[in-house]
Amino acid sequence: MASTTTPGRKAHIHDSSKYEYSSSGTRQEGDISIWIGTWNLGAADPFSDSRGLMDDADTSRMVRHLVPVGYDLYVLGVQEGVNENVYFAIQAYLNRNPQLLRYQRKELRNDKVVLPNKQAPTDAVFDAVRGRGDGAFMGTKFTGMAVFCGDHVAADVQVLRAGLHKFNIASGSKGGVAVALKIKHSTLCLINCHLDARNDTYRRDQIRLLNTNLGKVMGHPYFDLTQQFHHVVWMGDLNYRIVKMDATEVCRLLTEDRIEELHDRGDGLLNDRKQGIFEGFKEPDKFHNFYPTYKKFPLRGHVDMDDPRWPERVYRVLYKEPFYKGNVDGTILYRCI
């Protein structure tokens, strides 16, 4: 999920977890088009197999479902990443286009931005929050961001500053990464974050922390993020849940192809958009094939979506919470998707 806000205007939230893209809207000469996406990689590398890195054909088949071609600027936020193969794959995919356009990844290094952070080393790189924990004990995971800019618009796109905030030493890779861009005469700040799954109150506090602390890092210390840029984009794994429905009802609605009811009644973000931390933000209508994504059976193989019981073959509604998330007695939980 990603959201944008402009001072004095209604904000917009963009959800990139789709397989279709709208061609509606009016584009005038000189406009710069931007695609914003977010992907929780689940502490895995989808671009490697038993043979090593996949070839270009295999990676293209994976990437094309997420990334549309034809935009001038691409911004990807990832959560639970383990390496940068996802960035390499997407850049290679973007550079294989029929128009022969070339895309370069912007460096988020302190000495490569327009307004470097004087409190940080000149060679500091602000593209990821890294850490162990939450299942990653042998290696590290990261919450990161990459910006790919077409050479044909590079003169109109500048990286003003980049920064990050990690919640605490025990929060692993959870936190936020921010990048401020100047696109022609407008400023745009993008924040990719991974929030805690604990509860809504805890997540709201984390959003407030990011808004305040990244505001200090990205600009003036006495103003938060939403007061310093023309547009602000929030994206990432905010860990919102389907609410006011148990898992049985969710699976029933999925079986009956009543997806819109899940969007209208179950989205835990609705309350925070009406009277919470995202008040004033507007989320566009989700595509009909935007299904819940939380807790699926691993290695489930092909699932026939015409089978009325397909939700039971995909979603894990009974599971054991790991000990490092507080389940010390091994209780089996029944949880909504």
Convert the pLDDT of each residue in 38-88 to its tens digit.
999 988 898 887 676 677 788 888 898 889 999 999 999 999 999 999 999
Q: Which of 186, 181, 176 is nearest to 154 (CA)?
A: 181
Listed in sequence order, the residues at least 6 apart from 176 whose beta carbon sits closer than 8 Å to its beta carbon are 129, 143, 164, 165, 191, 192, 193, 194, 210, 214, 236
Share of the chain above pLDDT 70, in %: 79
Query: Mapping DSSP to helix (H, G, I), strand (E, B) and coil, where does residue 71 land?
Result: coil
* 259 has pLDDT over 80: yes
Check residue 268 and give its pLDDT.
Answer: 66
Highest mean pLDDT among 170-174, 200-204, 247-251, 259-263: 170-174
21 pLDDT band, cuts 50/70/90, is very low
**pLDDT at 8 > cutoff 90:** no
Between 181 and 315, where is the model more confident? 181
User: Average per-residue pLDDT in the chain?
Assistant: 82
Can you give the pTM of this predicted structure? 0.82
For the sheet with 281-282, list strands across it: 157-166, 175-183, 186-194, 231-237, 2-5, 11-14, 281-282
pLDDT tops 90 at residue 33: yes
Contact at 8 Å (CB) between 270 and 47? no
Identify the structural domains of the chain with CATH numbers, from first to last.
34-239 (3.60.10.10)
Please, which pLDDT band fits residue 185 given cuts at 50, 70 and 90?
very high
The whole-number pLDDT of residue 319 equals 60
- Exposure on the CB side of residue 115, measured as CA atoms within 13 A: 12
Cα distance between residue 91 and residue 105, in whole Å: 8
Q: Which residue has the higher pLDDT, 25 or 187?
A: 187
Distance CA 214, CA 232 (A): 12
Three-state SS at 77: strand
What would the two tokens of residue 37 be?
């996406």
**What DSSP assignment string belongs to 217-275?**
HHS-TTS-GGGTSSEEEEEEE----B-S--HHHHHHHHHTT-HHHHHHHHBTHHHHHHH
Does pLDDT of 19 surpass 60? no
| pLDDT tens for each residue of 271-308 | 666 667 777 776 767 777 777 766 788 888 889 988 98
Tell me: pLDDT of 330 over 80: no
Band (335; pLDDT cuts 50, 70, 90): low
Q: Which residue has the higher pLDDT, 288 or 155?
A: 155
Look at 19-23, 135-139, 157-161, 216-220 and tell me which has the smallest mean pLDDT. 19-23
**Most confident region among 77-91, 244-258, 303-317 by mean pLDDT:** 77-91
Residue of 125, 119, 120, 109 lying closest to 159 (CA atoms): 109
Q: Taking 70 as the threshold, does the pLDDT of residue 333 lie above it? A: no
Q: Is 6 exposed, middle or buried (0-12, 13-18, 19+ CB in 10 A)?
A: middle
Per the model's pLDDT, the better-predicted residue between 109 and 295 turns out to be 109
pLDDT confidence bin for 10, thresholds 50/70/90: very low
pLDDT reading at 17 higher than 50: no
16-20, 53-57, 101-105, 297-301: least confidently modelled range? 16-20
SS3 (DSSP) at 306: coil
186 pLDDT above the threshold of 70: yes
